[in-house]
A and B are shown apart, each in its own frame.
Chain A
């Protein structure tokens, strides 16, 4: 029998994650409800000021806070059932390139976060931005959302592998995750806000942060990909 290729390893691992999620719907429900709850908290926080201020200028930032905390929740869970059910030992017994585990896990995390974004962004729009005229550049927020999600899922995957074996895992994940994604977050918030406000010179504030965010993604994903072997074998 021929040895299965790296690609089939990857596909199998990814399919396993998706099937597990499809059957339990554990992550997506908890992340989706959490996102809705954050929006409700925003509703309370902005109750007195939402009409007085220009929500378009704050929208990008609020949206990203929502995404960061929701992803944090999902990333913390992403290795939990692997550990609870001893699945990780099984995967480690297979003679495969360990980086494939990283890629498969990162891709499944990207997919989960994207699904949550697809639900949360329209909800955010529905609750806060319908009173505003829509800038024609609004669809451009897809680019920073995508770039940010890829980077967050990549960094989050290696960090949740690290914190899986520590005491106080969830707190530690947040302590490590938020500083490490900060440059990415900063760039993505700038680009998102530029697209939401859509002022005349919006491309200046949109393109440069997006390029920087892509650069950070590439560097971080490469570093994480190389280091993952050590982390998962420890």
Chain B
């Protein structure tokens, strides 16, 4: 039985043609989402900005109603970070199955995108913590699990730097990326498992009004496109770098 030829991702394949459109559309959508968050989406539960209002059981000031706009970016970038991590682990599994260095490059680049979006999430999340909850940090379950997710992603790169042999480095990195994936469902489910947490859960708060949902979806799609474009650009750069190294090595021999 002939072995099926493995299709390897390479710089310059068809997804690269989508990079410029994806980046442009992503930029337009995220900008549109930014404007919509302030101009289109009404404050929560139709509250007016001129006076404090009771939302749920909590008296909410207009500063909190405005800082609630952080949500329109915080949730989409968090979701994108999870998706990027899923891709990193997927390419990690592909590497372990095929032993093809190319997939390790993919996994590494996806992990870099994960780190970027994890940092975005931490920054927007910390603004939220400060202005909605009045503290810079609290050991709340979702925050804690997300913080350790960030630490695992950082540890992934520390590990990569500490191994010299490429084959071994790729194997270890793939294994860690797969283990890191275990934290994603935990981070996602923790606010449901521990109901006392103050982290908002949308379904628990009665779902989103259509104008809010619309804004979130637009920002989410925009961020996904930006993440995709960044991934492809970085992947192309990494591949060209690898090819140049290979050429250099050939010349030296």
Contacts and interface: CB of A to CB of B under 8 A. Distances in A.
Interface of A: 158, 162-163, 165-168, 172, 175-176, 178-180, 182-183, 186, 212, 216, 219-220, 223-224, 227, 230-231, 234
Contacts of B163: 165-167
10 contacts: A162-B159, A162-B172, A166-B172, A175-B155, A176-B159, A183-B186, A220-B179, A227-B175, A227-B179, A234-B172
A166 B162 contact: yes
B96 A183 contact: no
10 closest A-B pairs by beta carbon, nearest first, are A234-B171, A166-B162, A179-B151, A179-B148, A182-B148, A234-B168, A175-B155, A179-B152, A167-B162, A227-B175
Contacts of A224: 179
Contacts of A183: 145, 148, 183, 186
A231 B95 CA distance: 13
Contact of B162 (A168, A219, A234): A168
A182 B144 contact: yes
Given A165-B168, A227-B179, A176 B186 contact: no
A178 B186 CA distance: 16
A129 B37 CA distance: 55
Interface string B181-222: 011001000000100000000000000000000000000000
Contacts of B176: 162, 176
A94 B58 CA distance: 66
B114 interface: no
B251 interface: no
Given A172-B159, A182-B144, A234-B167, A212 B179 contact: no
Interface string B147-169: 01101101100110011100110
A100 B167 CA distance: 23
B155 A179 contact: yes
A186 B187 CA distance: 13
B76 to A, nearest CB: 25
A183 B184 CA distance: 12
Contact of B152 (A180, A186, A219): A180
Interface of B: 96, 144-145, 148-149, 151-152, 154-155, 158-159, 162-164, 167-168, 171-172, 174-176, 178-179, 182-183, 186, 193
B193 A227 contact: no
Contacts of B158: 172, 175
Nearest to A172: B162
A223 B163 CA distance: 22
A81 B172 CA distance: 21
A222 to B, nearest CB: 10
Nearest to B193: A212
A162 B155 contact: no
B159 A231 contact: no
Contacts of A231: 171-172, 175
Contacts of B149: 179
Nearest to B158: A175
Given A162-B176, A175-B151, A175-B158, 14 more contacts: A158-B179, A162-B172, A166-B159, A166-B162, A168-B162, A172-B155, A175-B155, A179-B149, A179-B152, A223-B178, A227-B96, A230-B171, A230-B174, A231-B171
Contacts of A172: 155, 158-159, 162
B86 to A, nearest CB: 15
Contacts of B175: 158, 162, 227, 230-231
A183 B149 CA distance: 11
Contacts of B171: 230-231, 234
